[in-house]
């Protein structure tokens, strides 16, 4: 559902909307995306209802301390002024579902692809993982020691950073180089273009070279904060950044502990900018067991 919706949304990103006409006549895409949004909404409502039922049926004595639990708690707040509306609760869940699922999914897919074709980096990353975790489940202490993997993640974010641009509204007229941006227009800052700028990254900008990040982001970007912003910039940057990095490190460590990865001959390279940058035909890899039941 989410994938379909993101394809439709990205197809219509720059569609001109005329309010009255859009109310009277809806295109196939609009109708389908309304139906998909409703499906996602129903899905969220069901999950919320299940949480509430567990408390009502005394299977649990609280709504829980996870993010959903906190939202359901806020929805039941005894103080009316602090109470969250059901509409807002559903919206928060949708935001996290949209922002958190597809992004990490595509990042992981691209890293698996990159490691499949760069066997030397795959081996380096595996050596590091085994050195730090052996065959054990990755723990938070070890995560901060994964230097090679961090470099690989940054380089994958640079080459295939999931969000296809940062949407911003221009609140007052500004001059950007030779351009004058009038107030009240919406723009999409293509961070992926910044990440592929040869002036910043050099002539090998399109190559996978995690060593760029060997001494951290500041050094790699020559202390230019805007040059590398896969998680956005400013007060509205990604709240899930640390969580996403941690999630990616855990999953990759567990894959590298168990399997070698090589690219399937059926793979066709075609990155496509939906809401996130996705492999149009998926990523087909061959996993070979290391005979290690970590
Ligand atoms: C590789 C993974 C991810 C990438 C590359 C990513 C990137 C981004 C970017 C570029 C933005 C917009 C920031 C801006 O406009 O300046 C954003 C916003 C956001 N992200 Fe992420 N994200 C990732 C994972 C996650 C995860 C796992 C979660 C939640 C668990 C999450 C939650 C959010 C939320 C809630 C926002 C909106 C923040 C706001 O508007 O205040 N993201 N993310």
Q: What are the pLDDT tens digits along the chain (294 aa)? A: 777 887 787 777 766 667 677 677 788 888 888 898 889 889 989 999 999 999 999 888 899 999 999 999 999 999 989 999 988 998 898 888 888 888 999 999 999 999 999 999 999 999 999 999 999 999 999 999 999 999 999 999 999 988 778 889 999 999 989 999 999 999 888 899 999 999 999 999 999 999 999 999 999 999 998 899 999 988 889 999 999 999 999 999 999 999 999 999 999 999 988 778 889 999 999 999 998 765
Rounded to the nearest angstrom, the gap between the alpha carbon of residue 85 and the centroid of all alpha carbons in its chain is 27
| Domain covering 108-160+192-293, topology | Cytochrome p450 (1.10.630)
Q: How far apart are CA 156 and CA 98, in angstroms?
A: 20
| Cβ 243 under 6 angstroms from ligand 1 | yes
Residue 228 Cα, ligand 1 centroid: separation in angstroms?
Answer: 15
Return the structure tokens found at 65.
Answer: 């301390």
What number does the ligand 1 atom closest to the CA of 191 have?
A: 10
What number does the ligand 1 atom closest to the CA of 168 have?
A: 15
CA distances for 112 relative to 1, 6, 149, 195, 240, angstroms: 24, 22, 12, 20, 21
Buried b (16+ CB within 10 A) or exposed e, 82-116: eebeeeebbebbbebebbbebbbebbbbbbbbbbb
Residue 249 Cα, ligand 1 centroid: separation in angstroms?
Answer: 17
Instruction: Output phi, psi for 22, to 5 deg.
Output: -65, -25
Return the structure tokens found at 54.
Answer: 């567990």
From 225, 235, 240, give the residue whose CB has the most ligand 1 atoms within 8 Å, as the site to mutate. Answer: 240
**Strand partners of residue 180:** 175
Residue 127 Cα, ligand 1 centroid: separation in angstroms?
Answer: 30
From 66, 101, 102, 103, give the residue whose CB has the most ligand 1 atoms within 8 Å, as the site to mutate. Answer: 103
The ipTM estimated for the assembled molecules is: 0.97
| Cβ 162 under 6 angstroms from ligand 1 | yes
Return the structure tokens found at 185.
Answer: 């227009």
Residue nearest atom 39 of ligand 1, based on CA coordinates? 236
56 closest CA partner among 76, 74, 71, 41: 76
What number does the ligand 1 atom closest to the CA of 247 have?
A: 27
Note whether 260 and 288 are within 8 A (CB): yes
What was the pLDDT predicted at 167?
86
Residue 24 Cα, ligand 1 centroid: separation in angstroms?
Answer: 34
What was the pLDDT predicted at 275?
77
What was the pLDDT predicted at 232?
93
Q: Kindly report the pTM of this predicted structure.
A: 0.89
Q: How far apart are CA 9 and CA 275, in angstroms?
A: 7
> Which residues touch 50 (CB under 8 Å, ≥6 apart)?
none
Annotated binding-site residue? 43: no
Q: How far apart are CA 101 and CA 96, in angstroms?
A: 8
What was the pLDDT predicted at 294?
59
Residue nearest atom 9 of ligand 1, based on CA coordinates? 231
| Cβ 104 under 6 angstroms from ligand 1 | yes
Phi-psi region of 220 (alpha: psi -120 to 50; beta: other; left: phi over 0): alpha
What number does the ligand 1 atom closest to the CA of 167 have?
A: 15
Residue nearest atom 36 of ligand 1, based on CA coordinates? 238
What was the pLDDT predicted at 251?
97
**Domain-by-domain residue ranges, the chain?**
1-84, 108-160+192-293
Residue 231 Cα, ligand 1 centroid: separation in angstroms?
Answer: 6
Rounded to the nearest angstrom, the gap between the alpha carbon of residue 156 and the centroid of all alpha carbons in its chain is 12
| Long-range contact pairs involving 175-180 (C-beta distance under 8 Å, separation at least 24) | none
Residue 91 Cα, ligand 1 centroid: separation in angstroms?
Answer: 15
């Amino acid at each position: 559902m989410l994938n379909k919706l993101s394809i439709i949304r990205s197809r219509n990103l720059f569609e001109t909307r005329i309010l009255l006409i859009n109310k009277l006549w809806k295109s196939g895409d609009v109708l389908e995306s309304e139906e998909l949004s409703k499906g996602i909404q129903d899905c969220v409502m069901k999950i919320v209802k299940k949480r509430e039922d567990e408390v009502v049926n005394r299977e649990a004595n609280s709504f829980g301390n996870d993010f959903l639990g906190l939202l359901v708690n806020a929805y039941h707040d005894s103080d009316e002024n602090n109470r969250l509306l059901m509409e807002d609760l559903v919206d928060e869940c949708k935001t996290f579902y949209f922002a958190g699922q597809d992004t990490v999914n595509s990042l992981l897919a691209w890293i698996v692809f990159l490691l499949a074709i760069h066997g030397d980096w795959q081996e380096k990353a595996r050596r590091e993982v085994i050195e730090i975790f052996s065959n054990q489940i990755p723990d938070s202490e070890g995560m901060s020691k994964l230097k090679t993997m961090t470099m690989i993640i940054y380089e994958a974010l640079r080459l295939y950073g999931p969000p296809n641009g940062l949407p911003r509204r221009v609140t007052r007229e500004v001059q950007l180089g030779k351009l004058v941006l009038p107030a009240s227009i919406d723009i999409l800052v293509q961070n992926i273009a910044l990440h592929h700028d040869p002036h910043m990254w050099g002539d090998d900008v399109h190559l996978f070279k995690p060593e760029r990040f060997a001494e951290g982001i500041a050094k790699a970007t020559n202390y230019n904060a805007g040059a590398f912003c896969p998680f956005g910039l400013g007060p509205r940057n990604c709240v899930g950044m640390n969580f996403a990095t941690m999630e990616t490190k855990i999953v990759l460590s567990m894959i590298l502990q168990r399997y070698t990865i090589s690219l399937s001959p059926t793979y066709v390279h075609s990155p496509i900018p939906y809401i996130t940058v996705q492999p149009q035909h998926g990523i087909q890899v061959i996993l070979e067991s290391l005979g290690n039941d970590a």
